[in-house]
A and B are shown apart, each in its own frame.
Chain A
Amino acid sequence: MKLYDYVLSGNCYKIRLFMAFLDLDYEKVGVDFYPGREHKSDSFLAINPLGQLPVLEDNGVVIRDAQAILVYLANRHDPSGQWWPQADHAQFAQVVQWLAFADSITGTSSAARLHDMLGYDLDIVAARAGAHRLFRILDSHLSQQEFEGHHWIAGPSPTIADIACFPYTALAGDGGIDTFYYPAIQRWIHRLTRLPRYHNMPGINVFA
């Protein structure tokens, strides 16, 4: 398997993290996202016309979109079925719902980070406000899960929904978004970084 990757991308990190949890071998192809803008080059647009990272290639299959890659890897490489539970219809729908939510986190928290770190020209006030609106929802949901004795987004064990929501929540501080407002999110981040085979990325504070 080949992953088109940028080390500081939270969406690429989702895939690296899941690869680590599944203990999979793969090849990383570094893409010069900044300052080279290689993801907008003709050669990369031939791989992904959206000009976005990450992209996964596996035996001739080319998949773009971080959430789609998580789904693919879970279906293909997780015989336990833990990461993409399909037996329970309600839980299945929950995972899909939070995968979509993760994309909204990218659209707000990641956007704020691109503004603050790489100087992207965008409405930073709207990006931060949008992220806070989502984090309130996530904090409330994780609190409800804790009341039920569950520690993860969609049930009793971690799923790809947790992986999808994790990076741009944990990296929110890079975009000037304070997550100390959300104690249940803080506990969830801490639990996730304590999972066996957890693999970190620069910018995420791991309590050793």
Chain B
Amino acid sequence: MDSVVSFAGWMPAGLQNAAETGTSVRAVIFEDDIAIWRGQDGLARAWQNRCPHRGMRLSYGIVRENRLTCLYHGWTYDGTGGCAHIPAHPDLVPPKSIRAKAYGCVETGGMIWVARSESSEPPPQISGTWMPCRTMQVNRSLTGLAEVLGTGKANLALAMGAWAGQLRVAGLQGAVLLAVQPMGARGAMLHACVTGPEDLTRASDWIESLRGHLERPIAA
């Protein structure tokens, strides 16, 4: 589907409430499989979704305090990705070379953003206070999204260029912050935030109808 299989800068990876304190969840960006988890310190971390030991998804991991423990053999990583404990060798101090591969991870605009560690692009800063509304998976590749959006639905095509943008939607008090997270063959995630609770239900209805529009067959 999408020819792009990797990404260079900061990408939306979910709404802030997707990763609640003490949980680890899965996110896919293009071909990258990522575990996002939040410790008791409230900080969200994004790591390659693969335990360095046996490749188990770290999104199945167990969060205790500010450490993530792999579900498979209990290898435990501190908040920076360094291996802190290996249960089968309780007296061993794990070598510093055993590390979960970390992505850059920031939160702004009510959303979690990630970038590859080698990226030098500064993290996004979205002004204003934004409240998480809905995340929706849409069965449409990025190319297909651009094609549909290009046919003139609001100013979405413009917003898409930077993965997120503000929109005015009829019937809402405030604006909607809409972000697109491409997932290759899985289509994309659409994330929407609003400026206040009074807009939650209407914005949710709007993004449902937007998805319906995006998933309609493209005429040949």
Name A residues whose Cβ lies closer than 8 Å to a Cβ of B: 140, 143-144, 147, 178, 180-183, 186-187, 190, 205, 207-208
Contact = CB atoms under 8 A, between A and B. Distances in A.
A187 B14 CA distance: 13
A186 B25 contact: yes
Interface of B: 14-15, 17-18, 20, 22-28, 59-60, 62-64, 71, 134-135, 137, 186, 189, 197, 200-201, 204, 208
Given A140-B208, A143-B134, A205-B71, A180 B27 contact: yes
The interface centre, meaning the residue of A143, A180, A183 with most chain B CB atoms within 10 A of its CB, is: A183
A140 to B, nearest CB: 7
A140 B59 contact: no
Contacts of A147: 197, 200-201, 204
A208 B62 contact: yes
A180 B59 contact: yes
23 contacts: A140-B134, A140-B208, A144-B204, A147-B197, A147-B201, A147-B204, A180-B59, A181-B137, A181-B189, A182-B137, A183-B14, A183-B18, A183-B135, A186-B18, A186-B25, A190-B20, A205-B60, A205-B71, A207-B24, A207-B62, A207-B63, A208-B62, A208-B64
Contact of A187 (B20, B62, B200): B20
Contacts of B200: 147
Contact of A140 (B15, B62, B204): B204
Contacts of B23: 190, 207
Nearest to A140: B208
A180 B71 contact: no
Given A180-B26, A190-B20, 15 more contacts: A140-B204, A143-B134, A144-B204, A147-B201, A147-B204, A180-B27, A180-B59, A181-B189, A183-B14, A183-B15, A183-B25, A183-B135, A186-B18, A205-B71, A207-B24
